Amino acid sequence: MTEQREQLAQAATGRHQDDDAPVAGHQGAPRSAHLRRSTNESSVEVGLNLDGSGDSEISTGVRFYDHMLASLAKHSLIDLRIQATGDVDVDAHHTVEDVAIVLGDAFREALGDKRGISRFGDATVPLDEALVQAVVDVAGRPYFVHTGEPDGQAYVVIGGSYSGSLTAHVLESFAQHSGIALHVRVLSGRDPHHLVEAQFKAVARALRSAVALDPRVKGIPSEKGSL
Ligand SMILES: [Mn+2]
């Protein structure tokens, strides 16, 4: 790891290498990333540590989205620091999407060559009446399948600025940029807040399994030799 990359990783994790010996990947380097992206519509900074404990510090200007991203961190055990500012006075859309893009890019960078990971993850998570299944393959082949949201969910506005249509948009942007195949199936639910939150939690749990280092996996978990 270069000195610069190490500093970025420390900034992302808020930890020094020798503090408490953060769990390292098989490469010996912390599986973390720190990225910035600015456009005319938003400015996004993401720090991410795959081997974290679910800590988060998130500010996107869209409070409900902050709540969802904190939930994603908590249940994936990925540490997340996200600072975003954008034209939320126009609409939350640009900022919400751009955060998902940078989050996906950071996730892919932190995974590195994927040596030693479980690769697949599958979780079914309830939130009261809502039930969601998420299945991931961290394969470098982006794909997104989304089914089962009840009619009208896309048009619901939650917390004043988050529209229900954004959930699929966020998950698709994340899948495209992280290079994962992601299937999200909403199996049941009625409350709009629960329907979104159960999706983030299910994705979090599936990611947690998929990125976990399995000591029995030797090298890269693919017959092809690369992912
Ligand atoms: Mn909630």
How many whole angstroms from 127 Cα to the centroid of ligand 1? Answer: 9
How many whole angstroms from 18 Cα to the centroid of ligand 1? Answer: 36
- The encoded tokens of residue 36 equal 């910035």
159: which residues sit within 8 A by CB, 6+ positions away?
62, 63, 64, 67
Mean of the per-residue pLDDT values for the chain?
Answer: 91
pLDDT at 40 over 80: yes
Question: With the C-alpha atoms ordered 112, 116, 119, 120, is the resulting torsion angle positive or negative?
Answer: negative
Question: With the C-alpha atoms ordered 119, 169, 185, 205, is the resulting torsion angle positive or negative?
Answer: positive
How many whole angstroms from 193 Cα to the centroid of ligand 1? Answer: 6
Question: What is the predicted pLDDT for the residue at 27?
Answer: 52
How many whole angstroms from 173 Cα to the centroid of ligand 1? Answer: 22
Give CA–CA dist 33/188, Å, rounded: 35
Give CA–CA dist 126/174, Å, rounded: 22
Give CA–CA dist 72/200, Å, rounded: 6
Chain-centroid distance, C-alpha 42: 19
How many whole angstroms from 225 Cα to the centroid of ligand 1? Answer: 41
pLDDT band per the 50, 70, 90 thresholds, residue 28? low
Class of domain 3-211: alpha beta
| Residue 53 to residues 23, 29, 173, Cα–Cα distance (Å) | 11, 17, 24
What residues are paired with 35 via a beta bridge?
Answer: 46
Give CA–CA dist 39/90, Å, rounded: 15
pLDDT band per the 50, 70, 90 thresholds, residue 136? very high
How many whole angstroms from 202 Cα to the centroid of ligand 1? Answer: 14
In the chain, domain spans: 3-211
Question: What is the predicted pLDDT for the residue at 44?
Answer: 98
Instruction: Report the run of H or E that residue 36 belongs to, with start and end.
Output: strand 32-38
Give 36's Cβ-side CA count (13 Å radius).
Answer: 5
- Minimal CA–CA distance to 23: which of 104, 116, 113, 94? 116
Q: What are phi and psi of 193, to 5 degrees?
A: -65, -45
pLDDT at 147 over 60: yes
pLDDT at 114 over 80: yes
Contact criterion met (CB below 8 Å) for 213 and 174? no
How many whole angstroms from 51 Cα to the centroid of ligand 1? Answer: 25
Question: What is the predicted pLDDT for the residue at 198?
Answer: 98
pLDDT digits (tens, 9 = 90+) for 164-204: 999 999 999 999 999 999 999 999 999 999 999 999 999 99
pLDDT digits (tens, 9 = 90+) for 62-103: 999 999 999 999 999 999 999 999 999 999 999 999 999 999
